[in-house]
């Protein structure tokens, strides 16, 4: 590729460890996004942040204003560029870099950047703790590999900028907040930023237990999902003197949890429902006036998931009426079904083999889970483009979302090489780009940060 791979590998590790030590949950990635924006600007990209590429009405599951402001202030205190961070106030932490290199297709890549709400292990044999880059933030940890994804994205950005002779057209690198809980992608999609993408690529480190050297050229079977919050509001009362004047919201929530778990599954395909959290009440002698449920539904298709979500609403409202309490449902996250394009899978497999993976699968990997990148895949394919989601094998210290999660940092470099080779082949017509775009169009004028 005509570049110093050892230098790229060293930069990958440094970036990954910086992101890991500054773990930030969804929509609070102010430090992470600021660092990414600065690096993209230094590499010569047109940089867009926040509201430039996010539709406010499509953001789901936002933390409270108090939490967002506190995390913003923390990021600036830890060295985030104040101007960039302040431009993201309110949770607008998406970043994109655009690099134009003459006529050709538009190839877009997605990298998720958020951490998980997990307290990282402090055990001395846990590599981040042992080597001094464990999360500095209580209750937030990169326990899913998104720190590696962000580092891979920056390495790809620098490689594309340095090796312009190897590709043509336009690349769009999207660094997405709030993938956990499937909350962040839809806002980027609804902004229209990806509407001119001919090809869309994303991937994930780990996922399967095969370890390093394995590559899966496409993921299929994304489950459509809806994340729901349900609030029950009754009336508090003294549990001894006048319990008859109370309306017990906690009992309503508990009953709803049981009945929701018993919703009949659908015969047309896989369906899921899970109540993950219940909270309510204030004391043993007080009739609880408020209670809360956090749950999710999933379905093999969007229609099946919609069936499950509608049943949840029906059950919750019926239970609320039976207990004389009000119910309020709100959507905290969402993803749809999607499949990887077979043509892009073939390109990905060939590039992975060239990049050095020992075992390359050309068959779709059934995910059995959900990813809001599915919104991006759907938008691109509906407009005539093609999209794929790949898996980069990596040796893992523990399961995803576990306190001792870690991955072999050597897994990042072959991922970068694979993505660069894909960009090169796609820009050179390995797959015909959709005819809907004219490549002699004038480039848009985009603001640059940094």
Write down the pLDDT at residue 3.
Answer: 65
Query: Using CA atoms, how far apart are residues 365 and 75, in angstroms rounded to an integer?
Result: 38
Q: Which of 30, 112, 157 is nearest to 400 (CA)?
A: 112
Would the pLDDT of 379 be above 50? yes
56-65, 346-355, 441-450: least confidently modelled range: 441-450
- Place 444 in a pLDDT band, splitting at 50, 70 and 90: very low
Question: For a pLDDT cut of 90, what percent of the chain falls above it?
Answer: 88
pTM of the predicted protein model: 0.90
Write down the pLDDT at residue 2.
Answer: 61
Write down the pLDDT at residue 210.
Answer: 81
CATH 3.30.70.360 residue spans of the chain: 224-335
Write down the pLDDT at residue 177.
Answer: 98
Would the pLDDT of 1 be above 90? no
Would the pLDDT of 91 be above 60? yes
Write down the pLDDT at residue 222.
Answer: 87
pLDDT digits (tens, 9 = 90+) for 417-443: 999 999 999 998 877 766 554 333 333
Write down the pLDDT at residue 435.
Answer: 56
User: 5-222+336-427 maps to which CATH number?
Assistant: 3.40.630.10
User: 224-335 maps to which CATH number?
Assistant: 3.30.70.360
pLDDT digits (tens, 9 = 90+) for 198-219: 999 999 999 988 888 999 999 9
Would the pLDDT of 384 be above 80? yes
pLDDT digits (tens, 9 = 90+) for 100-140: 999 999 999 999 999 999 999 999 999 999 999 999 999 99
pLDDT digits (tens, 9 = 90+) for 317-338: 999 999 999 999 999 999 998 8
Would the pLDDT of 450 be above 90? no
The count of other CB atoms within 10 Å of the CB of residue 431 is 16
Do strands 95-101 and 106-112 pair parallel, antiparallel, or not at all (unpaired)?
Answer: unpaired
Averaged pLDDT of the chain: 93
Average pLDDT, integer, range 140-148:
98
Would the pLDDT of 12 be above 50? yes
| Dihedral of the alpha carbons of 444, 45, 392, 149, in degrees to the nearest 10 | -110
CATH 3.40.630.10 residue spans of the chain: 5-222+336-427
Would the pLDDT of 447 be above 60? no
Write down the pLDDT at residue 428.
Answer: 87
Average pLDDT, integer, range 76-97:
98
Write down the pLDDT at residue 440.
Answer: 33
Would the pLDDT of 77 be above 60? yes
Average pLDDT, integer, range 270-281:
96
Would the pLDDT of 279 be above 70? yes
pLDDT digits (tens, 9 = 90+) for 389-399: 999 999 999 99
The C-alpha angle with vertex 422 and arms to 418 and 427, in degrees rounded to 5, equals: 155
- Place 153 in a pLDDT band, splitting at 50, 70 and 90: very high
pLDDT digits (tens, 9 = 90+) for 52-76: 999 999 999 999 999 999 999 999 9
Write down the pLDDT at residue 439.
Answer: 36
With a CB cutoff of 8 Å and minimum separation 6, the contacts of 386 are: 198, 199, 200, 341, 343, 344, 380, 431
End-to-end alpha-carbon separation of the chain, Å?
27
The count of other CB atoms within 10 Å of the CB of residue 122 is 10
| Dihedral of the alpha carbons of 76, 78, 81, 82, in degrees to the nearest 10 | 10
Write down the pLDDT at residue 107.
Answer: 97
Identify whether the C-beta of residue 64 lies closer than 8 Å to the C-beta of residue 110: no
Return the bridge partners of 174, or none.
96, 110
Question: For a pLDDT cut of 70, what percent of the chain falls above it?
Answer: 95
Return the bridge partners of 216, or none.
361, 391
């Amino acid at each position: 590729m005509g570049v110093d791979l050892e230098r790229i590998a060293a930069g990958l590790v440094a970036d990954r460890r910086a992101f890991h030590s500054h773990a930030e949950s969804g929509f609070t990635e102010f430090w992470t996004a600021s660092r990414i924006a600065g690096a993209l600007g230094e590499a010569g990209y047109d940089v867009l942040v926040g509201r430039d590429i996010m539709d406010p009405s499509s953001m789901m599951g936002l933390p409270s204003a108090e939490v967002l402001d506190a995390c913003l202030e923390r990021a600036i205190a830890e060295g985030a560029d104040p101007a960039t961070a302040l431009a993201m106030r309110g949770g607008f932490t998406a970043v994109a870099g655009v690099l134009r290199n003459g006529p050709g297709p538009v190839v877009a890549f997605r990298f998720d950047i958020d951490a998980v709400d997990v307290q990282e292990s402090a055990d001395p044999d846990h590599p981040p703790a042992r080597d001094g880059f464990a999360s500095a933030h209580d209750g937030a940890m990169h326990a899913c590999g998104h720190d590696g994804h962000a580092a891979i994205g920056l390495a790809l950005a620098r490689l594309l900028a340095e090796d312009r002779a190897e590709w043509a057209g336009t690349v769009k690198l999207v660094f997405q907040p709030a993938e956990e809980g499937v909350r962040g992608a839809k806002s980027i999609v609804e902004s229209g930023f990806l509407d001119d993408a001919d090809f869309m690529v994303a991937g994930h480190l780990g996922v399967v237990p095969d370890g390093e050297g394995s590559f899966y050229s496409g993921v299929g079977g994304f489950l459509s999902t809806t994340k729901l919050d349900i609030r029950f509001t009754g009336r508090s009362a003294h549990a001894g003197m006048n319990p008859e004047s109370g309306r017990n919201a906690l009992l309503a929530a508990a009953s709803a949890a049981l009945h929701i778990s018993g919703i009949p599954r659908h015969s047309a395909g896989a369906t899921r429902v899970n109540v993950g959290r219940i909270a309510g009440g204030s004391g043993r002698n007080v009739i609880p006036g408020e209670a809360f449920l956090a749950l999710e539904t999933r379905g093999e298709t969007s229609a099946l998931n919609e069936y499950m979500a509608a049943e949840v609403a029906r059950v919750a409202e019926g239970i609320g009426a039976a207990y004389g309490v009000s119910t309020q449902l709100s959507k905290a996250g969402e993803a749809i079904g999607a499949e990887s394009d077979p043509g892009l899978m073939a390109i990905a497999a060939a590039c992975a083999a060239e990049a050095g993976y020992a075992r390359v699968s050309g068959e779709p990997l059934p995910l059995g889970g959900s990813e809001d990148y599915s919104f991006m895949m759907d938008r691109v394919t509906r407009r005539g483009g093609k999209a794929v989601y790949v898996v980069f094998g990596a040796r893992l210290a523990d399961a995803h979302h576990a306190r001792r999660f870690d991955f072999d940092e050597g897994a990042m470099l072959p991922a970068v090489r694979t993505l660069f080779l894909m960009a090169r082949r796609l820009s050179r017509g390995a797959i015909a780009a959709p005819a809907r775009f004219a490549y002699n169009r004038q480039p848009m004028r985009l603001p640059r940060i940094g």
